[in-house]
Structure 1
Amino acid sequence: MSSPGITVSTGSTRATFLAAYSAVTLAQMTNALPGALNGTFAAEFHTSGAGLTWIAGIFMTGVVVFELSWGLLGDLFGRRRLLYAGAGLTAVGSVLAALAPTTGAMIAAQAVGGIGAGILFPISLSMIAALTPDPRARARVIATWAGFLSLGAVISPVLSGLTSSVFTVPGSEPGDPNVFSGWRVAYYIAAGVGVLVLIAATRAKDSAAPVERRLDLPGQATLALGLIAVLYATVQAVDAGFGAAEVIAAYIAGGILLVLFVIIEQRSAQPLIHLSLFRNRAYSITGIVAVTGMFAFLAICYSTSVAVGGLALAETWKVGVLFVFIQGPAFLFIPVVGWLIHHVAPRWVLTGGFALMAVSGYWLSTFSLGTPEEFGGTSWTAFIPPLLLLGIGFALTVGSVTAVAINTVEAHNIGMASATTNLLRDLGFALGPVLGSVIAFGIGATAFAVPLAGILGGAGLPEDAVAGLSQVPPLGFLSGWPDVISQFSGSALAGGAPQPAVDGMVQSLTTLQPQIQGAAGTSLGQGFQAVYLTAGIAATVSAFLTLFISGRSSSEPSAASESKSTEADAAV
């Protein structure tokens, strides 16, 4: 039996559900893996602030820019084919990540994996929804789907922590793409899960909904390229500054493309997004909240990963434990949130969740960051209470935001409202690490300039040497000290300095290393304090705005509305 208007092929129902649940677990596993590993990436790849941001942000970019098209392609050409493609791309991306020797290779691997996961999220949901036409049965299986998604988010930090601690090959060199050790094992395991999904999908039922629709290629192209250009400009500004020519050019190109997207959508008979939805004030507010609220969540997650793993130098397993407290409530509270949405006005659930996230951000902004615990820095265990509040807030908001959105529109717009809200929510996820990096590394560089000049000037280094080293961002001194020394030596020799003089300056810098790195860590700590504060403000604004949303809510929704709203809640 299938939903009206949907064709379903022969195959195993059990295999279909197994493939769908495994697929969404895989997608969320690969999405969450970098969360506990940013400190490791900074140390191993000697990456810049922009590089670290791309590793964290490019995955969600792949999800965001195409997610409105994958569902339609599955409807037209069959969802099992799309599941094959998504699982295959995710597995390939995971293997490439495991083998990555450099920051650029890791970014490319994340991009491939993000496109694969972007397929798996909507297709796995639509496969099981197609087999459950009864609204209440569909509500149960979609709630289970959401549980497996949350399970993937819980598995990732544990997996990254365990593999980093247990799978270590003695004598292996950092960055060696051929070693089967450390954090790389987590990506090999993810690739193995991808293969299992492919195997399960071979016996799954295929489904399609050959509706009279066609892909909005002009809209998809301008949206994708516009968002990528804007995100590229913002990430490049982390290192190059907002005045750099490539940053300005990318912003201009992105702005033009997004304006073209709006024009195309207004004139299209079958638009990617019905812009008329935003004429509804309540829905517009919900769209804003979806972006700002999820930005706050991911900004806190990203800051915690870098501050604890990269600046405080905590072991990866400790960062993994912290992320369990962040992601765990979303898995444990599934029945609670489902009950609240159907018995309490969803906007109150949403307001309460954002309020908890705001408290978390403000609380974390008071922590002293940038100094390892062994040298008097904040203990990693102190992060547990505020991050648990963050996790509970996220559990209350991640599904409720769509439930509130669809309660503000007419019944015939529920499907598009759900899809558009999911897009905006995922855009907020993508902006978390991107804008968080701009704030943290920008403030960190400004705060670092004065103490660095004092340290270098007091050592008696030549003015040109001081000027050259002042251009190095604070993260460079922390994660790439050997590279800094090598580039400094090369520049000094190329400028005509004799070898003995260069050797003397290098010796002076080596002696100053603890002071320079201490100042760099403290300065970046101030930057991430500002990110926490910004996230708290964004969550506060989100909680306040939801108070002005008026929409339909009922403890006994109609069958059609219940089916749609539950499906939307799960599509995270």
Structure 2
Amino acid sequence: MNNTPATDGAAPTPAATSTQSPSLTRGTMIAAALAVCVAQVGIAIPAVLNGLFQQDLGTSASQLTWISDAFLVPVTLLELSFGVVGDLFGRKRLLVIGAALLAIGEFIAVLTPGLSSSTGTRVAVLLTGQVIAGIGAAALFPTSLAMIAAGTHTAERRNRSVTTWAAMLSFGGAISPIVGGFLARYSFGSDPNASWRWGFLFVGIVATLSALVSWRMATNSSAPQGRSLDWPGQITIAIALFALLFAVIQGPTSGWGSGLVIGGFIVFVLAFVAFIAAERRSTAPLLRLDLFSNRAFAIAAVATVIGMFAFLGTAYATSIRLSSIQGFTPLKTSIAFILLNGIALVQMPLTHRLMTRINPKWLLSGGMGLIFVGDLWMSQLSAANRSIAPIIVPLALAGIGFALSVSAVTAVAVNTAPNHLAGMASGTTSLLRDFGFTLGPAVIGAVALSHATTLLHEKISSTPALQAGLKAFQQAPQHVPAEQKASVQGAVDAVMSGPLGANAVPSTVTAGGKTEPFNPLKDAAFHALNTSYSIGFIVCAIGALVACLIAIAIPGGSRDVLIESDSLVDPEGATAANPAV
């Protein structure tokens, strides 16, 4: 593998090559660890802020889902391509650019306009920031790992360095809910609901620090020989995935039979067929289709997508239930995500030991089984109980299951592939894992909100008193003083936007020391959402159970569970993506 010489603090010079890659320096290790940590914080921190997004921005259900997926989609689509870009043009340069893009995206999100702008404008600015930040994170994940792999020349040192990298990734996932919840306690300007901006500001500042650290301390490396970008594959899979997510997310809002949604599904099919055709012709494909001719790998791939969908669907359903339905503060909501994400960090030493003693397919199957139990348990808990205590055990089970399965999933895939395709198998598994993560919020949001909307409409149509109350509520802006008209109209618009909006507006208001009825749909919306997100947990449970059974069916139960360290980087320099999220 040809690489550029070590150039601490100097501009990258990918044209220069040497026969030996530079040894991993402390500065490079620090830069890589900080980069992957802040990228993971950027992914995870919105989860505890969904309630504030809705209160401050007045988001619809589909907009709330897009806020989560706007970051995840670029990571899913661009992670493998950025691995190639780093190999071609220098990894240090890409690490700096990725951190800078992450910072810029977060700062754009912080600058989302205030109440004087429309909801559509405000959400568009926030989504723009999330997309840019996601592009930056997509560069940081593979590049930080590739820099470590390129600079370590013994199995022992590489394993130790990669373990540190994975620990920092898990640390980012563990601290993000705490940081987001804690900072949200403080007002941002005059609007108390705008406190979500502190979390984005924190990520932006740390990402800026990461860019500076990488620029000053990291050692450059590259591996341009035999590497090229698969533009047709990248473009067609990007169109396909975006069209699929658009159709799934917009379905509950626009209607599943609408031309917009049906058109989205048609574009997905056409673009996906074009992607398959492009990959068959490509000399350097983004995705090696011949991997799927290996039955064991194909089974592992299906288990990966379904299992990771089940976990992030669980996380999304938990976030909406606690913050948007029950109205928990971000700090209280963060407790749930400490259980879901933090356990992976604490459990890492045990998981590592288990990986050396047990075939990883059994860890994957067992982890999915625990997620199944946790989801089924969560589906039986009523949102009317506002105590945090009932959800601790089921979410802890899901967190333990995730810690086991996410560490095992790459090992399972690599163990099912031929040795010369180990690097490609690892990278492909990363793509599939992130695809499953991206589907989680989209599918669970669509299923739960479609059902909640149906239940709410049925309740209204069967209750004359509710119909009369809703009619009077819609006319309320006409009967209030001029200075209150805008706020009352905003409340009416929120209630009419769907179940989440109706649940966010109080059922009574206090005026002149007297409590008066206000939102007639509050209770009906709450019960519809309670039932529907319980169904969301059941869908996740079914997904986890299916992944569990599929993992058991993977051939090769007696194979060596250890992955050769060289499989982290293929002979041409392809990087394996993050082993934990």
Find the residue that maps to 1:333 and give its secondary structure.
Answer: helix
Alpha-carbon deviation of 1:237?
A: 1.0
Q: How has the CA–CA distance of structure 1 residues 469 and 129 changed in structure 2, closer, same or farther, with 3 Å as cutoff?
A: closer
Match of 1:107 in 2: 127
3-state DSSP of counterpart to 1:10: coil
* 1:553 equivalent in alignment to 2:573: no
Aligned residue among 153, 156, 161 for 1:136: 156
The residue type equivalent to 1:524 in the other structure is L
- Distance (whole Å) between structure 1 residues aligned to residue 211 and residue 467 of structure 2: 60
Q: Deviations over 1:401-445 (max 9, x none)?
A: 110011111101111111111100000100110001101100100
| Structure 1 residue 554, shift from structure 2 partner | 2.1
Q: Does 1:256 align with 2:275?
A: no
1:442 aligns with 2:462: no
Give the alignment's Cα RMSD to 1 decimal: 2.6
Q: Which has the higher mean CA deviation after the structures are superposed, 558-567 or 191-200?
A: 558-567
Deviation at 1:521, TM superposition (A): 1.2
1:361–1:536 Cα contact (<8 Å) kept: yes
* Matching residue within 174, 186, 204 for 1:191: 204
The worse-fitting range, judged by mean Cα deviation, of 549-558 and 93-102 is: 549-558
1:377-456 equivalences under 5 Å are 377-453=385-461, 454=463, 455-456=465-466
CA distance in 1, matches of 2:411, 2:277: 29
Match of 1:399, SS?
helix
- CA shift, 1:185, in A, is 1.6
The Cα shift of 1:478 comes to 2.6
Identical pairs, percent: 37
- Give the partner amino acid of 1:525: N
How far apart, in 2, do the equivalents of 1:317 and 1:336 lie? 29
What is the CA-CA distance between 1:462 and the residue it aligns to?
A: 8.8
Distance in 2, matches of 1:562 and 1:66, equals 18
Alignment of 1:57 with 2:46, yes or no, is no
Residue number in structure 2 paired with 1:291: 305
Structure 2: gaps of 5 or more residues: 10-24, 114-121, 476-492, 508-514
CA displacement, residues 206-230 of structure 1 (integer Å, 9 cap, x when unaligned): 0001121211111111111111111
3-state secondary structure, aligned to 1:554: coil
Aligned partners of 1:244, 1:402: CA distance in 2, in Å?
Answer: 39
Taking the TM superposition and a 5 Å limit, the aligned residue runs for 1:301-450 are 301-369=315-383, 371=384, 377-450=385-458
Instruction: Tell me whether 1:473 sits opposite 2:498 in the alignment.
Output: yes
* Cα separation, 2, equivalents of 1:280 and 1:555: 18
Q: Distance in 2 between matches of 1:463 and 1:558?
A: 66
- Mapped partners of 2:563, 2:61: distance in 1: 48
Aligned position for 1:26: 38
Give 1:7's aligned amino acid: T
Aligned length: 529
Q: Amino acid of the residue matched to residue 190 of structure 1?
A: V
Once the two structures are TM-superposed, the CA of residue 5 in structure 1 deviates from its matched residue by 3.7
* Equivalent residue number for residue 536 of structure 2: 531
Structure 1, residues 144-185: CA drift from partner, whole Å, max 9, x if none?
1000001101111001111111x226x812566xxxxx2322
* 1:353 CA displacement: 0.4
Q: CA deviation at 1:343?
A: 1.2
Deviation at 1:10, TM superposition (A): 2.7
1:270 aligns with 2:270: no
Is the 1:143–1:334 Cα contact (8 Å) retained in structure 2? no
Inter-partner Cα distance in structure 1 for 2:46 and 2:424: 31
Identify unmatched segments of 5+ residues in structure 1.
Answer: 177-181, 372-376, 483-509
Partner of 1:7: 4
Alpha-carbon distance in 1 for matches of 2:5, 2:66: 40
Closer, same or farther: CA 470–265 of 1 in aligned 2, 3 Å: same
CA distance in 1, matches of 2:96, 2:536: 39
Is the Cα–Cα contact under 8 Å of residues 82 and 142 in structure 2 kept in the other structure? yes
Cα-to-partner distance string for 1:481-535 (whole Å, 9 max, x where unaligned): 89xxxxxxxxxxxxxxxxxxxxxxxxxxx96545411110110111100010000
Deviation at 1:456, TM superposition (A): 3.0
Q: Mapping of 1:37-186 within 5 angstroms?
A: 37-101=49-113, 102-165=122-185, 167-168=186-187, 172-173=190-191, 182-186=195-199
Letter in 1 for 2:499: P
Following superposition, the deviation at residue 555 of structure 1 comes to 5.7
Structure 1 position 569, deviation (Å)? 6.9
Counterpart Cα distance in 1 of 2:473 and 2:502: 19
Tell me the equivalent position of 1:522: 527
Amino acid at match of 1:570: P
Task: Verify the 8 A CA contact 2:48 2:330 in the aligned structure 1.
Answer: yes
Q: Distance in 1 between matches of 2:430 and 2:470?
A: 57
Flag the 1:557–1:322 CA change in 2: closer, same or farther, 3 A.
closer
Instruction: Tell me, yes or no, if structure 1 residue 36 matches structure 2 residue 48.
Output: yes
TM-score normalized by structure 2?
Answer: 0.86
- Give the drift of 1:113: 1.0
CA positional deviation for 1:563: 8.0
Q: Structure 2: how far apart are the matches of 1:7 and 1:294?
A: 37
State the distance in 2 between where 1:560 and 1:31 align.
Answer: 28
- Provide the C-alpha distance between the structure 2 equivalents of 1:92 and 1:469, rounded to a whole number of angstroms: 31
User: How high is the TM-score relative to the length of structure 1?
Assistant: 0.87
CA distance in 2, matches of 1:163, 1:318: 12
Cα shift at 1:570: 3.1
The CA distance in 1 between the partners of 2:565 and 2:45, in whole Å, is 37
- Are the counterparts in 2 of residues 135 and 563 from structure 1 also a CA contact under 8 Å? no
Q: 2:521 is paired with a residue of what secondary structure?
A: helix
Shift, 1:73, TM fit? 0.6
Indicate how the Cα distance of structure 1 residues 460 and 9 shifts in structure 2: closer, same or farther if over 3 A, else same.
Answer: closer
Please report how far the alpha carbon of residue 99 of structure 1 lies from its aligned counterpart in structure 2 after TM superposition.
2.1
Given that 1:100 and 1:175 are in contact with CA atoms closer than 8 Å, whether structure 2 keeps it comes out as no
